[in-house]
Structure 1
Amino acid sequence: MRYSGVAWTGVGFEVAVLDGAGRPVGPAARFAAGRLGSLTDHLLRLQREFARAGQHLVTVVDSTNGVVDGALTGAGLTVYRADPWVLPARPAFGSVAAAELAGAAARDLGSVVRLEPGAGTLAGRGTEMVADIDASAADLERMRLAGRCRWAEPSELPVVALTFDDGPNPPYTGRVLDVLDRYGVPATFFCVGLHALAHRAELERMATAGHQIANHTWSHPYLPDLSRSELVAQLERTDQALTAAVGGEGPRMFRPPYGGRTPQVLSWLRELDTTMVLWDVEPADWSMPGADAIAAAVLAQARPGALILLHDGGGDRSQTVAALPAVIEGLLDRGYGFARVDGLPGPGRTPS
C-alpha cells in the first residue's frame, strides 16, 4: 500500500507520498492554486506506477479541504478524509502537512473515512452536522431577523436568485456565464479563495456582466472544525483575493460550506462585517444525478424569494451547465424573474 496526502496552503497544494512503513516515497510535490488538473494527473500517474508494482494508492485530505476530493474521486482515485482528532494541530493558515495526512492513513487506515463519488466531503459526519444545525436554529433565526442571514424569506414577488458555489472553475464557470449571458439573467457566485487566486479572468467576466461575487471561504472547510482565528483568516484571505481581482470593497456576503454551523460559529460570524447566505432549493447537482434530474428538482422546489443552490466548481459541472437552460426557461415560463442575492427582498426590504 502507498499513502498520499494532499494539503492546502496560502498559494496552492502540496502532495506527499509514504510507503507502508510511513517512509517518504520521493520528494513532496507542490502545485499552484488553479493547478488541480495537474495535481490529479500527478496522482493518477503514481497510481498507475504503484499498480504495476502491485501496490494500491490511497489519497488523504482533511475536513478543512473541500476543494479537491470531488475532482479526485471523479478521476478514479481512492480518497479518504482525516478528521481533526486523528491529526496534529494545524498551522495558523493551511491544513496539516501532506506527509501528516498520509501518515494518518499509514498508521491506521480505519481511522480515516473513505469518500465515494457523489457522497460528498463530509461522508460519515451527517448526523453530527444535522445535530449542530438543529442546535443553531434559534441563533440563526435571530441573525435572519436582524438582516445578518439571508434564508427562507417569504415573498409575494415571483423572483428567485440563482447562486453558484465553489468556483471559479474553468471551463465550467465560463459555460455557466455563457448561458446567463444568453438569457440576460443575473446570478450570485460564491467563490473559493484558492480558485479565485488562480482564475482572475473568470472573476473579471462575472463583475463586468453585473453578477454578484461573494465569499465561500479559502479552502471550503467544515467551519465547526475551525478556531475563531482560522475562520476569520478564511474569510479575510478570500475577500482579499476577490478584491484584488475585481476591485471594490470586497464581498459582504458569505456562504458557509455545507451550510455547516454551530452556535459558536454563528457567534463568531456575528462579530464580522458579513451577511451569511444559505439556500432554499438544492437539486444536489454536485452528486451528478443528470441534467434532467437537476432541472426537475429546481422547478419542483422553486417558490417566490427562493435561493437556488447550484455549483460551477468542485469537479465536473457539465451536468449543471446542461441543466441551466431548462432551469431558466422553466422558471420564466412560470412567471419568475431573477435577481442577485443582494437584490432579493429581505426583512423590511424591497427589491433593489
Structure 2
Amino acid sequence: MLYSGISWSATGYEIDVVDEDGRRAASALRFAPGRTEDMIEHLRDIGRTGPLVTVVESTNGILDGRMMAAGLKVYRADPDLLPERPLFGSVAAGVLADLARRDLSALAELERNRGTQTGREADLESGIAASTAQVAALTGAGRCLDHGTRDRKEIALTFDDGPLPPYTGQVLDVLERYGVPATFFCVGMNAGAHAEDLVRMREQRHSMGNHTWSHPFLPELSRAQLHEQIDRTGDAIARAGGGAAPTLFRPPYGSRTPEVMGWLADRASTVVLWDVAPDDWAMPGAQTIARTVLEQARPGSVVLLHDGGGDRSQTVAALPPIIEGLLARGFRFVRVEDLMTVAA
C-alpha cells in the first residue's frame, strides 16, 4: 500500500508519498493551481504501481470531487488528528501521508455522492441550526440573504467553486446566449490560475463573490484563519478580474456556527446563502438538476449551482432547460445584489 498526502499553500499544492514502512516512495512534487489535472494524473500513475490512498486536510475542499471521479481513493484528515495548522495553508503533505500509514481507519473515506463532508453531515447541520438567531439578525440588518422579496418574479442564478476550465467557460457561453446575468462565488486558489474567466465575467456584467481560498469547513478555523482566507481571496479576485474585491461572501457548504457568524458580522461583506439547491455537485443527472430547480424556484429565489469542484458537464447541460423554463413562467434573471436592493 502507498499513502499520498496533498497539502495546500498560497502557491498551490504539494504531494508526498510514503510506503508502508514510512519511506518516501516518490519524489515530493509541487503543482501550481492551474495544474491540478496534471497532479491527479501523477497520482493515477503512482496508483498503477500498487494500491494507493490519498489524504487531504479538512481545509481542502476543492480537489476531492475531481480525484474521486478519476478513480482515486480519497480520505479526509480532521483537526483532532493533526498538528496545529499555520495561519494560511495546511499541514505538510508528508504529515498527511504518514498519518494514513499509521492509522488509516482514523480518517474519513470520502464518498463521491456525499463529498468533502462525508461522515460529518450532522455536524454541518447542527451548526447551521444553532446559528438561526445570528443569521436572522444579519438578515434584518441587510447583511445576509437567502432569498429576495417574494412579491417580484425575479431570480438569481449563482455558481460556486470556480473558475474551472472548461466548465466555467461553458456556463458563461450559455448565459451569454440567453442574455442572463449571474453571480459567481470564486475560490481564491482558482482565481489567479484562470484569470481569463474572471475577466469574461466582468465583461459580461456578471457579479463575483468571495468563496474562501481553499473551501474549508469554517467552524474548524480560527478567526484569524477565516479572515486570512477571505482577505487573500478578495485580493486574488480583484487582481484577476481587474475590479474591486467582492463584498459578497458565501460560506463553503453554508457552514457556520454562532461564533463564525459573529466573526462574519465584524466584516463589511454580506453573507449570501440560498433557498434552491439541486445538489448538482453530486451529479444526479442534468434532467434531475433542471427539474429540481424548476420545482423549487419561487419569486426571489437564490439558486445554488456549481461551475467548479469537479465535472460540471451536467450543470452545463441543465442550464438551458432551467433558463427556458423560468423564462416561460415569467421570471426575470438578476444578480444577487439586485435582489438585495429590492429586499432593502
Normalising by the smaller structure, the TM-score range is over 0.9
Distance in 1 between residues matched to 2:178 and 2:262, nearest whole Å: 40
SS in 2 for 1:220: coil
Unaligned runs of 5+ in 2: none
Instruction: Tell whether the 8 Å contact from 1:255 to 1:277 is kept in structure 2 after alignment.
Output: yes
Matching residue of 1:24? 24
Matching residue of 2:93? 98
Asked if residue 179 in structure 1 is aligned to residue 167 in structure 2, the reply is no
Q: Which amino acid aligns with 1:32?
A: A
Matching residue of 2:265? 270
1:241 to 225, 236, 250: 236
Distance in 1 between residues matched to 2:197 and 2:145, nearest whole Å: 25
Q: Give the drift of 1:297.
A: 0.3
Matching residue of 1:10? 10
Give the TM-score taking structure 1 as reference length: 0.96
Matching residue of 1:81? 76
Matching residue of 1:115? 110
Aligned pair count reads 344
Matching residue of 2:330? 335
Distance in 2 between residues matched to 1:25 and 1:129, nearest whole Å: 36
Q: Give the drift of 1:345.
A: 4.1
Matching residue of 2:48? 48
Matching residue of 1:53? none
Matching residue of 2:141? 146
Distance in 2 between residues matched to 1:122 and 1:250, nearest whole Å: 28
Matching residue of 1:201? 196
Q: Which amino acid aligns with 2:9?
A: T
Asked if residue 128 in structure 1 is aligned to residue 137 in structure 2, the reply is no
Q: Give the drift of 1:36.
A: 0.8
Matching residue of 1:255? 250
Instruction: Tell whether the 8 Å contact from 1:177 to 1:206 is kept in structure 2 after alignment.
Output: yes
Matching residue of 2:294? 299
What does the per-residue CA deviation read over 1:304-331, in whole Å, with 9 as the maximum and x for residues that have no partner?
0000000000011000000000000000
Q: Give the drift of 1:346.
A: 5.5
SS in 2 for 1:71: helix
Matching residue of 2:154? 159
Distance in 1 between residues matched to 2:213 and 2:194, nearest whole Å: 14
Distance in 2 between residues matched to 1:106 and 1:337, nearest whole Å: 54
Distance in 1 between residues matched to 2:105 and 2:26, nearest whole Å: 25
Distance in 2 between residues matched to 1:289 and 1:340, nearest whole Å: 26
Give the TM-score taking structure 2 as reference length: 0.98
Q: Which amino acid aligns with 1:344?
A: L
Distance in 1 between residues matched to 2:186 and 2:243, nearest whole Å: 16
Distance in 1 between residues matched to 2:261 and 2:49, nearest whole Å: 46
Instruction: Tell whether the 8 Å contact from 2:57 to 2:90 is kept in structure 1 after alignment.
Output: yes
Instruction: Tell whether the 8 Å contact from 1:155 to 1:345 is kept in structure 2 after alignment.
Output: no
Instruction: Tell whether the 8 Å contact from 1:147 to 1:346 is kept in structure 2 after alignment.
Output: no
Distance in 2 between residues matched to 1:89 and 1:223, nearest whole Å: 16
Matching residue of 1:288? 283
Asked if residue 344 in structure 1 is aligned to residue 335 in structure 2, the reply is no
Distance in 2 between residues matched to 1:124 and 1:237, nearest whole Å: 29
Of 340-349 and 100-109, the range deviating more from structure 2: 340-349
Instruction: Tell whether the 8 Å contact from 1:207 to 1:246 is kept in structure 2 after alignment.
Output: yes
Percentage identity across paired residues of the two chains: 55
Unaligned runs of 5+ in 1: 51-55
Instruction: Tell whether the 8 Å contact from 2:128 to 2:257 is kept in structure 1 after alignment.
Output: yes
Distance in 2 between residues matched to 1:143 and 1:11, nearest whole Å: 34
Q: Give the drift of 1:155.
A: 2.0
Instruction: Tell whether the 8 Å contact from 2:237 to 2:245 is kept in structure 1 after alignment.
Output: yes
What does the per-residue CA deviation read over 1:1-54, in whole Å, with 9 as the maximum and x for residues that have no partner?
11001111101100000111222223211000111100100000000122xxxx
RMSD: 1.0
Of 57-66 and 16-25, the range deviating more from structure 2: 16-25
Q: Give the drift of 1:248.
A: 2.8
1:64 to 59, 65, 68: 59
Distance in 1 between residues matched to 2:138 and 2:340, nearest whole Å: 16
SS in 2 for 1:167: coil
Q: Give the drift of 1:186.
A: 0.0
Instruction: Tell whether the 8 Å contact from 1:66 to 1:221 is kept in structure 2 after alignment.
Output: yes
Give the 5 Å matches for 1:32-43.
Answer: 32-43=32-43
What does the per-residue CA deviation read over 1:270-291, in whole Å, with 9 as the maximum and x for residues that have no partner?
1111111001000000000000
